Amino acid sequence: MAKMLPELKSSPVIKRYNGGEPVLSRKDIPYEADCIFNAGVVKYKGQYVMAFRNDYAYNGKGAFDKCMIGLAFSEDGIHWNVQDKPFITVDDIGDPDVTKVYDPRLTIIEDKCYLCFAVDTKHGLRGGIGITEDLKTVKVLSLTAPDNRNMVLFPEKIGGRYVRLERPFPVYSRGGVDRFDTWMSYSYDMKYWGDTKLLFAVEDVPFANDKIGPGAPPVKTEAGWLTLFHTVDIDRTRGKNGWEDKWQKRYCAGIMLLDLEDPSKIIGMSKEPLIAPETAYETEDGFRTNVIFPGGMILEDNGEVKIYYGASDTVECMATANVNDLIALCKPLE
């Protein structure tokens, strides 16, 4: 049985926007919406762009029947205007096997807007990569074999290749339980991915005992690629959350620094969570309580870093920190 972890706290360098109030929630959405969370955010063509997950059509049994991706725009990264129509629904993926599309992450590479997303299909979970020229339609460039998701793209080619982080789910070979690690792959064309390697494993993170996965697309700094990830610890003594009979997981955000030229090398990592669930939105009010799920990170010119995260699979929140404080947390690995 997984070792239980103590109470976890957010790093003191983190400041939650408005005390942890959401920056986007269902009341802001002009079409059917229930839970708005796990957004990807970039600055693109003079504005902030957010792609968010919307779960809706509650089935009365602890889950939603439908899931799609919406889009919002902002001048300041805080106040958002939501596009009047959904951005991506299952019909836009072009594969009749797909039943849900969710967890978008945005990356700008050479002035083009790419999007990673997850799809549930009748035959497994897959990670997708798409490109949008007009922020209205998406062309799907690739879909992984199942089970894989949580993909994020680095914002530039490294050594002539595109690079992504990803999180496959190798159930049989990890003892038949969740024990999922973060991997990376390379591509010359965004379609064919390979040279796959393990970046880090769940046992490398002291505040995880269940699984880890990529968070936001990495951000370039002089010290290295500043990289968020999410972690999960499970505690069998935890019981019900807001809506489900049994919810024993806690999700936190962690931070690490990867080598600029060889991002498979970890320069440093914080041994403690960057953001742990603490506020009411994060621990009490929500579909799945105790979930922090980071999907967007923006480095501003003044050194402020905006971190966007889904709280309790129900609303989207934001926190800020100074870039040098975040880098300082990434202590060299022993």
Helix (H) or strand (E) holding 1: none
Q: According to CB under 6 A, which residues from 56 to 95 bind ligand BMA?
A: none
Q: Which is nearer to ligand BMA, 20 or 268 (CB)?
A: 20
Q: Which residues contact 137 (CB under 8 A, 6 or more apart)?
A: 92
Q: Which stretch binds ligand BMA (CB under 6 A): 55-63, 175-183, 255-263, 288-296?
A: 288-296
Q: What is the largest CA-CA distance in the chain?
A: 50
- 105 lies in the site for ligand BMA, by CB under 6 A: no
Q: Which is nearer to ligand BMA, 193 or 251 (CB)?
A: 251
What is the arrangement of strands in the sheet containing 81-82, beginning at the earlier edge strand?
35-44, 47-58, 64-74, 81-82
- 103 lies in the site for ligand BMA, by CB under 6 A: yes
- 116 lies in the site for ligand BMA, by CB under 6 A: no
Q: According to CB under 6 A, which residues from 139 to 178 bind ligand BMA?
A: none
- 288 lies in the site for ligand BMA, by CB under 6 A: yes
Q: Which residues contact 46 (CB under 8 A, 6 or more apart)?
A: none
Q: How far apart are CA 143 and CA 93, in angstroms?
A: 10
Q: How far apart are CA 51 and CA 138, in angstroms?
A: 12
Contact present, 121 and 146 (Cβ < 8 Å): yes
Contact present, 130 and 107 (Cβ < 8 Å): no
Core vs surface per residue 119-133: b (16+ CB within 10 A) or e: bbbeeebbbbbbebe
Q: Which residue has tokens 């024993």? A: 248
- 132 lies in the site for ligand BMA, by CB under 6 A: no
- 38 lies in the site for ligand BMA, by CB under 6 A: yes
Q: Which stretch binds ligand BMA (CB under 6 A): 5-13, 19-27, 91-99, 287-295?
A: 287-295
Q: Which is nearer to ligand BMA, 48 or 251 (CB)?
A: 251
Cis peptide leading into 147, omega within 30 of 0? yes
Q: How far apart are CA 296 and CA 40, in angstroms?
A: 5
Site string for ligand BMA, 235-264 (x = CB under 6 A): ----------------x-------------
Q: Which stretch binds ligand BMA (CB under 6 A): 12-20, 75-83, 286-294, 326-334?
A: 286-294
Q: Which residue has tokens 């490294």? A: 158
Site string for ligand BMA, 289-308 (x = CB under 6 A): --x-x---------------
Site string for ligand BMA, 173-212 (x = CB under 6 A): ----------------------------------------
Could you give the 3-state DSSP secondary structure of residue 26? Answer: helix
Q: Contacting ligand BMA (CB under 6 A), which of 313, 315, 316, 318?
A: 313
| Site residues for ligand BMA per CB under 6 A | 38, 103, 251, 288, 291, 293, 310, 313
